[in-house]
Structures are given as C-alpha cells and as structure tokens.
Amino acid sequence: MVCLHGAGMTNAFTTSGLFGTLLRDPSTADAFSSAAFLQHAIAFEVAWTETLVSLGAVDPEDGNAAIVAMKGTVLDLDALGISSDINGLPIPELVAQLRKDLPEPQAKAIHTGTTSQDVIDTVMVQTLLGLLDTFEARLTTLVAALTELSQHTEGHLMGRTRMQAALPIPVAMRVRSWVGPLRDHQERLDGLRAQVGQVQLGGPVGLRDFPKGQGDAAATELARRLGLRMGPVWHSNRTPMLDLGHWMTLVTGSLGKLGHDIALMALQGIYDIKLDGGGASSAMPHKQNPVLAEALVTLARFVGIQQGGLAQAMVHEQERSGVAWALEWMILPAIAEATGAALNQAIRLIDQIVRIGPDIPQPEKPD
C-alpha cells in the first residue's frame, strides 16, 4: 500500500498559492508525486517478478508469494527519502522494504536482474505517456475552439510585419496562423509515443543478460505486461527524453506566439481584440492587462530555456550516468508542468475573446 503525497514544481515562489495556477498545473504536478511514482515502481517490480515466473527463472510459488507481499507492503516514505540522501535515489531502499522479512527465495524473486535505472526510466516513461494523453485532450479542445473562431470571424485587421503596419489581412488568417502549428503537433503525437514508450531493461551495465540466455525474451515479456514496447537498452541514449522535451517546446512555443499576438492586439490604440475577464492594475484602474496572453509568453520562454538544459542530459558518460540522468528529474517535470499550464491558459484565453478584429474599412468589392 502506498501513502499519498502531493507534488509540485520545485519553485516554491510560484507554488506558494499566491500566484494561483497561472504558471503551474496541479494535475501535471500530481503525475510526478511520490504516490504516482511508487505505484508505477511497484507495478514494474510486480511485472518483473511475473516475467521471471513466466520464463521459469523463479518458482511460481515463490514468485506469487513475493507478488502478494509487494502489493501489501506499507512503505516508509521517510526511509525512502533518507536512502536518496545516501544513495542518490530511493530504489535500493524500496527494494529492501519490498523484500523485508521474506524468505530468501521469495526475496530474490523481487528486482533481481534489474537495476535502479531500469525502474526509474520505466516509471518516467509511463508517467510521460499518461501526460501525453492529457496534453492531447487539451490540445484537441484548443484546436477545436480556434477552428470555430476562424470560421466565425469576419472582416479584416491590419497585418503587421516587423512590428509595423503592412497591409490589411482577413481576421481568420491571423487565427489560422495560431491553429496550424498546433495541428502539426497533434500529428506528431503517435510517432512520439512510439519512440518514448519503450521499456528500460538492461541490468547493472546494460548487458540485458538475465535470466541467462533469455534477456531479450524477458524484456519483451516485461514490456507486454506494462503496455510498452521492447527495444534496445537505452541507459545512455537519452534521445527519447530530449525528443519529448522538444515536442513540449514546440507546443508551448506555438502557444507563446498566440499569446504574444493577442497581447499586441490588445494594445491601447490598436484594439484589434477585446477580452472579457480580469487583468486589473493596482495603480492604474483604466488598464485591463492581457494576463493569460502574457502568461503564455512567459511559459514558452521558460520551457525554451529548460530544453537547452535538458540537452545537457544527452552527455551520459560511459554505460550509465548519475549526473546527466539526475538532470532529467529536475527539468522534465518542470517542462511538463509548464506545458500543462500553457495548454490550460490558452483554452481559457480563447474563451475570453469577445471580439477579434477592429472596425476598419473593408476592401471594396468589385462591381
């Protein structure tokens, strides 16, 4: 049994509650909570024991007893945290707690042949796949709202190049420039899931040699039980994580462009758009600040900066790294939560649009 603990981005300033959910997404943060992590980790250990039983590497009676014990374990979260302070991660203590008081054959049926990185990488994959489902649902909602907006807008507004007035363009053209890239990001999702959704099973140094002579069979069976695909060991190949970060950078970047456009359209004296909602100033009551639009720009820039840091995680020394690997734990959850927040704020922003396009002379129709 796993005790429930919440989670959030590591920035205590923005998670203090004072800034609401403007720059954060509690549901995405919960996906990285201790409860979610441990549920995935125990699911991995159970599936691994089941795999060993199915391959004949573990006696079925011992394996089944180990599985029952794992599912009934009440975990000591404080001890897991202390283990991380000492060992750099919680898996050694987790395994010790799962094996506690078990006879040796049952204890050896748990975790033997895998390593901490196998567990944590697979947990991260399952977490991120779940978040992709959430993000896809939000993206679908947003694309539908923008598509409807483009179909129900009339008239023209001044097109601007290099921040200067250029020539009039249809209002729908501006909206289409927002929705087109988002559709492209939707189309990339199936390929991204296929690349990211790979089980990690390599053992201590990536040989994948347990049970003896059955390493690939074990990886195939473990992947099947966890709903993932089997592939080569990727301990030191962090391409899938970087590709996922890149996709989130593209999504938030596109939303940042949308937000920046709307903020500029709301400029006093331009009035290309009218928004309903807040945005009050503490000093100037005549102002209505485009808060959500500004937040989209902030989140896009934050994710872009973090993606540069995530690229550093590609440099994994030799067979396994304790440096570059840990960098992912700091950066990927932050990118994911910012992406979730950006999608939420974009949906809210589009819903705030009362009018888009100013009252400017329409082009004369030819006789």
Domain membership of residue 350 (yes or no) is: yes
Domain membership of residue 220 (yes or no) is: no
For CA atoms 318, 324, 325, 328, give the dihedral sign: negative
- Give the residue ranges of DSSP H helices in 229-356: 239-265, 291-311, 324-352
Domain membership of residue 133 (yes or no) is: yes
For residues 121 and 104, state if they share a domain: no
For residues 87 and 125, state if they share a domain: no
pLDDT at position 9 is 54
The CATH number of residue 162's host domain is 1.20.200.10
- In the chain, the number of structural domains is 2
* Residue ranges of the chain with per-residue pLDDT less than 50: 1-8, 280-284, 360-363, 365
Q: 63, 81, 112: which is the final residue of a domain? A: 112
pLDDT at position 100 is 96
At CA 113, angle to CA 102 and CA 320, rounded to 5?
125
For residues 171 and 315, state if they share a domain: yes
For residues 141 and 275, state if they share a domain: yes
For the segment 257-313, what is each residue's pLDDT rounded down to a tens digit? 999 999 999 987 788 999 987 654 444 455 567 899 999 999 999 999 999 999 999
For residues 250 and 103, state if they share a domain: no
Domain membership of residue 224 (yes or no) is: no
Domain membership of residue 61 (yes or no) is: yes
For residues 107 and 132, state if they share a domain: no
- Tokens 């939560």, located at residue: 337
Q: 78, 97, 112: which is the final residue of a domain? A: 112
For residues 321 and 309, state if they share a domain: yes
For residues 262 and 354, state if they share a domain: yes
For residues 261 and 349, state if they share a domain: yes
CA–CA separation, 198 vs 196, rounded Å? 6
Domain membership of residue 328 (yes or no) is: yes
pLDDT at position 7 is 42
pLDDT at position 65 is 98
pLDDT at position 163 is 85
Neighbours of 253 (CB within 10 A): 20
* Phi and psi at residue 166, to the nearest 5°: -120, -90
For residues 304 and 185, state if they share a domain: yes
Q: 67, 95, 112: which is the final residue of a domain? A: 112
Question: Letter for the amino acid at 341?
Answer: A
Do residues 219 and 198 lie in contact, with contact meaning Cβ atoms separated by under 8 Å? no
For residues 175 and 309, state if they share a domain: yes
Q: Collapse the DSSP code of 1 into the 3-class scheme (helix H, G, I; strand E, B; otherwise coil) and give the result.
A: coil
The CATH number of residue 75's host domain is 1.10.275.10
Domain membership of residue 228 (yes or no) is: no
CA–CA separation, 103 vs 98, rounded Å? 12
At CA 104, angle to CA 101 and CA 107, rounded to 5?
70
Joined together, the tokens standing for residue 260 give: 């920046």
For residues 154 and 289, state if they share a domain: yes
For the segment 120-169, what is each residue's pLDDT rounded down to a tens digit? 999 999 999 999 999 999 999 999 999 999 998 889 999 898 888 879 89
Domain membership of residue 218 (yes or no) is: no
State the residue range of the domain holding 73. Answer: 32-112
